Structure 1
């Protein structure tokens, strides 16, 4: 299947993007809680990042925002009456719950699902398992609508398998592709899938939560029919979690045969690399690029989101390109490391910085905003074409955002019932552009 390409499906940031501070363990989310956000600027920034990849000749897709606020959540909490009455009552008695109902966190599509390409699966289909995101209330709302979105975009059980989310229990806590890396020689060849977890079944820990369990990762590997010899399960270091690496993609990213990671990413670095080499034997030679803490302190790696970057193969470039947030350039240690990285003549040949500051202030960098899906030519032709971007479609989406999104949103503004109508109108307009009428 040498005709396969990696398609990045970015989340289109929704009109309710706000700094609610709902995510325990996400330092940026906590630091900026209560600040005024700019949903319009956030969505435009995200679309400009997508445009960067389109202009580079890569295939780029987009996933629409989910419907917010979630009136199902408010109803489950005992609120009733009209939509306006439910919002007004929740704002008075449970403002944090209202913030959860309005959360735009589906924008970070690295958490949407775990994806295994058809080259890796036993039945030769492209598999998706939507993440249950059960650790955080505001994120646990997403998977039913995410599942419906994926089914709309990847229809047909002959080529695509969209599984249900795992049980919403602590033992099955799953955060999707943010804790998953696929390594390979070429995108269309069988690869090695690395699953990173923070705790075992029944295990608890003080401090920041370990959001991914080993049981969840193993369950997904089984349902995707992966070759057990080509699936590796590694434990994320507790130190990284306590430092604010709430997902593995805050300290590690990989592409093709290259794994780029911080020295403190894994509990057992030597064991993880040895397991990956065994799994890759006969297919490709692993190229690990480990960033020493002496050069980039863990705190700098997390605050700059050096590793929450997209590692990509650009057409006509023989080395990988790292798409990093502007904060990586602004941080002295990571900027200096990137300069040394490029000069080292290793597998990463260039670093390109992008502005996603609105997302970064809520704890999500370039890698959080995308779900990587390796697709054959037939699979790509069979998916819903309305979400595959070109510059004209990006222009249309940005025009819609500029005409329907607010440029200022404080958490207190969520109490205005009229804002719910604005969110609905904006989302419906976007779905119309993307020809996703089934999601209306």
Structure 2
């Protein structure tokens, strides 16, 4: 009735296995099984042929029951070359509705977003306008109030279909804020207070390109399984601004010394950048990620650095299947560890040992005894400390350090 296209499929109430089996054959393959109560891709299963249907249905229902307490599913046709594109909308008590343009969220792992950007490199002006108008119609059809996100799947043939509406601000809302210069949380408060929307549609004028990545405590090499532990180091590039808006923005929920547990989402921070065009935004993101340091739990930081430098991402060709199809090359770690990393680790370790030796000496019967000293002195002359390393690629190396007052001389072997 709202003239919002939906993916062909089965959305009926009956969950009888025979009916689902019959509807699946009507829709054709490949198709998707999706939990009715779901979100974030949990419980979603792709079925390429009829013989896979029973097993996929069992797995989808089981995961849906565990995650949402409801094992009801729906069936939808799988769209080839799929792009995930969403529109931010706002509605007020007076019946006004506007959109704040799109965000493309096609780059996903485990059906969950990992990189979002605006504008979409896939849309032309005509398709963008059609989808924006459909988003507004969808919100108006249900008399929507507040902030919402209307999400679409777009096929390689540029047909688009409504998939869901998120009735909240989403993780990626800073992308819209950087392009529009608007504070969407402020808009929510104004609407909740009964005020009119601050701007009309023709007053919303986004500028440039914005990109967001999600920095998570997870291991891409183990299927993006969450990781836990103490954040020994968490450093970001310094936030930067130009006269009208931020150039680099960091939204974080943790700081150095925090413990990352296993009971909540693995996201640690969001890194958002803005540029005059997409090329500049990507370059800024590459720089910002290179200036980010995280030591402690395993993370996706190195994965993100490779992701934003991948030719398909740079050329705007990545669809929702990109991560799965490109995972081996995104996980390659051929680059050698810079020597300064070894030097910093060795000196930090050595200074820690020296401080520990000093503390032990202070509590001994003879604090000034040379036997308490953690230095290079030996009877036959100065002997360097030897510190061995093994990196994640199982490369071995050794550093030899000679202490000179408060300085160190580093004698390197292959690392």
State the TM-score, normalizing by the size of structure 2: 0.28
Greater fraction of residues in strand: 2
State the TM-score, normalizing by the size of structure 1: 0.27
Greater fraction of residues in helix: 1
Task: Pick the structure with greater CA Rg.
Answer: 2
Bigger relative CO (Cα 8 Å, ≥ 6 apart): 1
